Structure 1
Amino acid sequence: MASINTNPSAMTALQSLHVTNKALAVVQGRISTGLRVAEAKDNAAYWSIATTMRSDNKVLATVQDTLGLGASRVDTAYTALESTLDLVSDMRQKILAAIGKDPSGKDQIQQEISAIQAQLESMARSATFSGQNWLAVNASETNGHPAEGVHRPVEIVSSFSRGHTGAIELGMIEIDVDRIKLYDDAATTNETKGLLEGLRLASTGKRDDTAEAPATPGADAEATDGYAVASLSVSGYSDDQLKDMLSVVDATLKEMTDAATSIGAAKKRIDLQKDFGSNLMDSIDRGVGQLVDADMNKESTRLQALQVQQQLGIQSLSIANSNAQNILSLFRQ
């Protein structure tokens, strides 16, 4: 039956064309954005996962920056500590050379030792990066150093992760500043002072609060005799006392070597963590891409097919509409 009020063929063709145009808009959107899940309405679950992972990746980028800053601080401390090790080793040679010398010879050697002591302090106090110095500290301050009366290491944020419950977890690389400091302006006891300034017992080489500088240079050795690299003097001291100084300097060198090893290990860990973080960010990007990226080869093929369907739909609608025109011919004379 032909009707001028209702054209079922045109309705069907129009519905088909509408579906084709809608699919075509989706494919064009995917091609223009490169994403098959660009909004939550495309796939709520994948969009939520991708959004969270992209956000986490931005945090990981910040962690990488933090690691870079931490690496710079560690490098600064390590470089200064390595240089001071060489100077303390030179001082040991000077003390050894002073043994057996007459008083005037010891005075001359002391001038060289005093220059080394001044240079040691200068190096330690210059080892500052971004407002932090781990070699010359003040325990009463909290700008990256242990708080007064509290043994607390400096922490460098090294990793960021999200647990199975969604809770954020941070990984830390710790630097024990109290173990590597050379000077501490706020310390009041030998045991809390830096490696170079705390008096060490000649018998043990350990920083000890019972240690005291010899009251009389050249006198017989006492059990409490103590020396420190930062303050020792060979002028007027006996050869036996110089030998005690050698023992103290050797013990200091050992602790400084341990400190350099500790910093070196932290430096290596930071480098490894930076490499891992970079690889992890790339892995997350690939994972997100697998969830939301569009297959451009597939979408371009679909685009061509839909464009053909669109043209056919338009043609079909035109034919359906032309059927109504045929009714007019029945009224022509």
Structure 2
Amino acid sequence: MSIDLSTSVKAALKVLLDTQANLTTTQRRVATGLRVGTAKDNATYWTIATKTRSDIGAVSAVQDALGLAQATVSVASTSVSATVDIVSQIKAKLVTAEESSVDKVKLNDEITQLKEQLRSVGQSANFNGDNWVVLSGSADPSEPKQIPASIIRYADGTFSVGRLSYSGAASSTGPVSTVDARYLIDDRTGGTGGYGVLTSTAFAAQVGAGQTYVMLTNQGGSTSGQVEIGLSASTTNGQIDDMLSVVNAMLGQMTIVGSAFGSLEARINMQDSFAKNMSDTLTSGVGKLVDANMEQEGTKLAALQTQQQLGIQSLSIANASFSLITQLFQNIH
């Protein structure tokens, strides 16, 4: 004769194992904060979340680039503003020079110091090795300054990067006009200074000055025909008038350059705010797909831990009952 009471033990064990499996899942969700942590949890949501996280990383990189661009453009804009102030001071000195009692030589010493400051301000407008107001070396004056500003994912899954730019001259070949002076200083090797407001002779030609006046002669290129604005004891009021006309034309172009930098700086700030909001929105979207409800999971965890304890007790009771019955019948043959 044999008696099999293991059914109750097996049932208690099965309940305990099921509880343990649910408890393990809940503990993982509580620990990671995710209800979809791997593809096996939910393949569709996991795929969407993985792609979106990649986009979030790209947006973060764009935000970093915008931060660098923001600093670079801010430095350039500050440089243009400082340059306008200095050129305005030179203009005031030239007006003063038309007074017959003024020592023009001493006044020229002051103008010389201001011109040196102009070059110093331009060359100092450098952030992370990038200068947006001074051309040097073999730089292409028509090449725009560009910065990554956004990411675009199309419906077909393709991906591209949107950019903001500060436009250079319309062309680096042919006659150079005042509108091509999109920089403060053009010191390019082999150049003539035409793409820098302070080094271009185009302003003198525009106002019909008697000489091709420039505020600064370009360094590194040809200075042929360039006449730096300055005073001597023999400088006539007519020459000063020509210099003033050139300076006024330069100031007009500098306000255009400064306005362009100001507009770009404002656009960068707007794009940075948009990128931050986009990152937050994408992160929130991913969270709705894969994040665990921590309040519910916490409650569930406590309940499963209680069930686990009860399951252990049930299994213990079933085992004890089976052992007792076995002992009662162990001497029956």
Length-normalised TM-score, structure 2 = 0.82
Aligned residues: 308
- CA drift at 1:46: 1.5
2:229 aligns with 232
Which amino acid letter does the alignment assign opposite residue 14 of structure 2?
Q
Answer with 33-42 or 309-318: which moved more: 309-318
For 2:28 and 2:257, how far apart are their aligned partners in 1?
59
Q: Deviations over 1:137-181 (max 9, x none)?
A: 12614xxxxx3xx61111011122322222222121112354531
**Is the alpha carbon distance of 1:303 and 1:125 closer, same or farther for their aligned partners in structure 2, counting shifts above 3 Å?**
closer
Which amino acid letter does the alignment assign opposite residue 96 of structure 2?
A
Which amino acid letter does the alignment assign opposite residue 232 of structure 1?
I
Matched, 1:121 2:107: no
2:280 aligns with 282
1:270 aligns with 268
Length-normalised TM-score, structure 1 = 0.82
Matches within 5 A, 1:62-77: 62-77=61-76
Matched, 1:329 2:315: no
For 1:331 and 1:186, how far apart are their aligned partners in 2?
106
1:208 aligns with none
Matches within 5 A, 1:143-154: 147=140, 151-154=142-145
2:86 aligns with 87
Q: Deviations over 1:30-80 (max 9, x none)?
A: 122221112221112222222222222222222222111111111211122
Answer with 150-159 or 249-258: which moved more: 150-159
Q: Identify which of 184, 194, 197 aligns with 1:195.
A: 197
Which amino acid letter does the alignment assign opposite residue 298 of structure 2?
S
- Work out whether residues 30 and 294 of structure 1, in 8 Å CA contact, stay in contact via their aligned partners in 2: yes
- CA drift at 1:257: 0.9
For 1:311 and 1:201, how far apart are their aligned partners in 2?
90
1:140 aligns with 138
RMSD: 2.7
Identity over the aligned pairs, expressed in percent? Answer: 38
**Is the alpha carbon distance of 1:201 and 1:9 closer, same or farther for their aligned partners in structure 2, counting shifts above 3 Å?**
closer
- Work out whether residues 160 and 171 of structure 1, in 8 Å CA contact, stay in contact via their aligned partners in 2: yes
- CA drift at 1:263: 0.8
Matched, 1:301 2:299: yes
For 1:110 and 1:279, how far apart are their aligned partners in 2?
54
Q: Which runs of 5+ in 1 are unaligned?
A: 142-146, 206-210, 212-220
For 2:165 and 2:275, how far apart are their aligned partners in 1?
18
**Is the alpha carbon distance of 1:152 and 1:331 closer, same or farther for their aligned partners in structure 2, counting shifts above 3 Å?**
closer
Q: Which runs of 5+ in 2 are unaligned?
A: 170-180, 217-227
For 1:245 and 1:33, how far apart are their aligned partners in 2?
72
